[in-house]
């Protein structure tokens, strides 16, 4: 009897430790895939990363093709996206967290935000094409693309900022009211400064999403080979992911190398931004603890 | 905003006037903020309105039944142009199917490992890598599918074409992994420790506790994460545009070129179809289908998460 029980227990324990290793192996596999992904792309592109890659415009000849216009275009795009999306996102978050009453209208707005967050990016492209490019006659300009991208990342910024505002302890609000500050003064001088770290973390992550998005730009009709730098918000431009997409589609292997090199530049940009986001997160976590 | 300079000699009258001005100002603020917040509502309605409006024009040229039930999608054919959307839906489902086949088992295994087995130290090492995976743009995944995964798969599936559903689907599966992992792990971690302790006290092993106690208790959150991931797979554009080809076919072949709803929109947008042609309007009809699919899935996920959530 004892032996039967013992062997049953042993079998269960063996299964337990086997499953532990299996789960661990799956995690290791996922990490391996991540490494493989970066290595597979990075190895081909490193050779193309020289100064002329950054100073040349796009070209039909793979060895001459560079990312000057694309890199400047992406930075110009962000110059529109960051202020527009931050303004819209912060105002919405402040309204929803600090002012909105719990009624149907507020619930409706919140539902809209969660719906908007799930809309595929290519559909935002269709919205931008109809509204900004055609109806408002902005053409395939930096402004049109910037506004489209701002709407795309707006739900992420709102939700992240809402969480940041919510995490500010009520004692700070009460102390501020106790000093005779109005609600708006409290928001501007007390709540926002103490939520800045977490707001920045969420926003930076959403900006990096906007930098990497390609589908909306394609639908907006953003051109690929651009031989000039943008001159203003209404100027045509191209962006890093568009340039990578174009190179990746071409059959010549030399263009694939250029695409790899472009991806390295894009990923370095994104990882740097992620680094900043993590820095701000750690700083704000420390601040709240002390 | 009016504030009183500390150097001035305070007069009660001025203080009251300043407070009154502040009060007036404070009353306009919420209205201004509400106006800005309405942009999100406007955006949603803008999307629905533009899609519906152009789709309506499309259906004046193509019969709606031909669109929904048609098995041939040949918009660029001069002789017999056909707008039957089923091939695009088949393509989309193929990608989503393969993606879930990869993403769900791998994602859930990772989630269970992170929430039930991993020590805080291991967690601290793995989490940033998963976040990194989540931050990779889909164009990068697409390039990975085309230049790394497809050649690798071809080494043991010789009949695999350069553009195929299998490789794109696998990479979409990798793309949705972080989403399944983090949402499912949240759901698993939310199960109270007392459940686990009760199970251990009855003599269960860690694995039995994870599978028979914690997993069922978190099932609503896990199901929601899977549906959300499926919705992401359906809406995924760049991986399929780069790696899955652009041949709308109505079959069950995973080794050949296919076309999804999203990659059709990209194909038209990169081509030279003129404004106002039937092809131009067709991307809105396809976009509307896509919107409907993802909208319903996202709603379903939210519904399951809130309706079947077990309160502890």
d(CA B263, nearest CA chain A) in Å: 9
Give residue-wise pLDDT tens across range A156-181: 999 999 999 999 999 999 999 999 88
Residue A26 has its nearest CB partner, among B113, B143, B283, at B113
ipTM of the complex: 0.90
Residue B280 contacts A, CB cutoff 8 Å: no
| pLDDT (0 to 100) of residue B81 | 85
Q: Nearest-CA neighbor of B171 among B131, B136, B132?
A: B136
| pLDDT (0 to 100) of residue B253 | 86
Give residue-wise pLDDT tens across range B42-72: 999 999 999 999 999 999 988 888 899 988 8
Give residue-wise pLDDT tens across range B113-167: 999 998 999 988 888 888 888 889 999 999 999 988 999 999 988 888 889 999 9
pLDDT grade for A275, boundaries at 50, 70 and 90:
confident
Residue B246 contacts A, CB cutoff 8 Å: no
Residue A34 has its nearest CB partner, among B1, B109, B133, at B133
Give residue-wise pLDDT tens across range B212-224: 999 999 999 999 9
pLDDT grade for B104, boundaries at 50, 70 and 90:
very high
Query: Which fold is adopted by the domain A51-289?
Result: MetI-like fold (1.10.3720)
Distance CA A267, CA A264 (A): 5
d(CA A55, nearest CA chain B) in Å: 23
d(CA A35, nearest CA chain B) in Å: 10
- pLDDT at A290 exceeding the cut of 60: no
Handedness of CA A138, A143, A149, A152 (dihedral sign): negative
Distance CA B55, CA B47 (A): 12
Nearest residue on chain A to B21, alpha-carbon basis:
A182
pLDDT grade for A234, boundaries at 50, 70 and 90:
confident
Instruction: Give domain B74-307's CATH number out of 3.60.15.10, 3.90.1150.10, 1.10.3720.10, 3.30.413.10.
Output: 1.10.3720.10
Distance CA B274, CA B163 (A): 27
Task: Confirm if B88 and B73 have CB atoms less than 8 A apart.
Answer: yes
Interfacial B residues in 156-215 facing A (CB < 8 Å)? 174, 177, 205-208
Task: Confirm if A244 and B143 have CB atoms less than 8 A apart.
Answer: yes
As a whole number, mean pLDDT of residues A194-223 equals 91
Distance CA A84, CA A88 (A): 6
| pLDDT (0 to 100) of residue B89 | 94
Distance CA A58, CA B257 (A): 29
> Can you give the residue ranges of every domain in chain A?
2-48, 51-289
pLDDT grade for B295, boundaries at 50, 70 and 90:
very high
Residue A126 has its nearest CB partner, among B129, B130, B284, at B284
Q: If 0-12 CB within 10 Å is exposed, 13-18 middle and 19+ buried, where does residue B293 land?
A: buried
d(CA B181, nearest CA chain A) in Å: 10
Task: List the single range of A63-67, A212-216, B289-293 with lowest mean pLDDT.
Answer: A63-67
């Amino acid at each position: 009897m004892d032996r039967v029980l013992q062997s049953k227990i042993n079998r269960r324990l063996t299964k337990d430790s086997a499953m532990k290793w299996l789960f661990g192996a799956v995690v290791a596999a996922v990490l391996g895939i991540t490494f493989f992904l970066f290595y597979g792309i990075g190895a081909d592109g490193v050779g193309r990363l020289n100064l002329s890659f950054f100073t040349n415009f796009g070209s039909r000849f793979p060895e001459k093709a560079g990312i000057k216009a694309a890199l400047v275009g992406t930075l110009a795009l962000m110059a529109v996206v960051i202020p527009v999306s931050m303004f819209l996102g912060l105002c919405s978050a402040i309204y929803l967290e600090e002012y909105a009453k719990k009624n149907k209208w507020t619930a409706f707005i919140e539902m809209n935000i969660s719906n908007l967050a799930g809309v595929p990016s290519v559909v935002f492209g269709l919205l931008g094409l109809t509204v900004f490019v055609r109806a408002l006659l902005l053409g395939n300009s930096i402004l049109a693309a910037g506004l489209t991208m701002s709407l795309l990342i707006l739900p992420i910024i709102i939700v992240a900022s809402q969480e940041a505002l919510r995490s500010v302890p009520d004692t700070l609000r009460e102390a501020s009211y106790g000093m005779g500050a109005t609600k708006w003064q409290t928001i501007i001088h007390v709540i926002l400064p103490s939520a800045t770290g977490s707001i920045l973390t969420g926003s930076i992550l959403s900006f990096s999403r906007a930098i990497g998005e390609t589908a909306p730009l394609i639908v907006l009709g953003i051109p690929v080979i651009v031989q000039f730098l943008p001159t203003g918000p209404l100027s045509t431009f191209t962006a890093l992911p568009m340039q990578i997409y174009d190179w990746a589609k071409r059959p010549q292997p030399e263009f694939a190398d250029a695409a790899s090199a472009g991806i390295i530049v894009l990923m370095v940009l994104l990882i740097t931004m992620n680094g900043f986001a993590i820095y701000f997160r750690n700083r704000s976590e420390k601040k709240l603890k002390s | 905003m009016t504030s009183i300079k500390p150097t001035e000699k305070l007069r009660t009258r001025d203080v009251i006037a300043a407070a009154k001005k502040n009060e007036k100002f404070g009353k306009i603020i919420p209205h201004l903020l509400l106006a800005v917040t309405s942009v999100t509502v406007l955006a949603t309605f803008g999307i629905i309105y533009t899609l519906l409006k152009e789709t309506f024009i499309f259906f004046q040229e193509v019969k709606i039944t031909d669109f929904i039930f048609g098995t041939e999608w040949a918009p660029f054919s001069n002789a017999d142009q056909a707008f039957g959307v089923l091939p695009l839906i088949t393509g989309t489902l193929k990608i989503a199917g393969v993606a879930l086949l990869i993403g769900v088992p791998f994602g859930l295994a990772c989630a269970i490992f992170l929430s039930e087995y991993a020590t805080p130290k291991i967690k601290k090492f793995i989490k940033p890598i998963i976040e990194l995976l989540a931050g990779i743009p889909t164009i990068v995944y697409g390039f990975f599918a085309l230049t790394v995964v497809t050649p690798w798969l071809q080494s043991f599936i010789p009949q695999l074409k350069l553009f195929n559903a299998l490789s794109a689907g696998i990479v979409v599966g990798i793309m949705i992994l972080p989403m399944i992992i983090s949402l499912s792990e949240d759901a698993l971690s939310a199960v109270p420790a007392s459940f686990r302790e009760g199970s251990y006290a009855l003599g269960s092993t860690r694995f039995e506790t994870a599978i028979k106690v914690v997993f069922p208790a978190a099932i609503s959150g896990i199901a929601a994460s899977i549906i959300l991931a499926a919705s992401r797979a359906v809406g995924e554009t760049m991986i399929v545009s780069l790696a899955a080809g652009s041949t709308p076919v109505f079959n069950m072949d995973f080794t050949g070129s296919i076309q999804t709803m999203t990659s059709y929109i990209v194909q038209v947008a990169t081509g030279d179809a003129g404004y106002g042609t039937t092809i131009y309007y067709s991307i809105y009809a396809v976009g509307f289908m896509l919107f409907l699919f993802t909208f319903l899935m996202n709603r379903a996920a939210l519904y399951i998460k809130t309706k079947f959530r077990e309160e502890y």
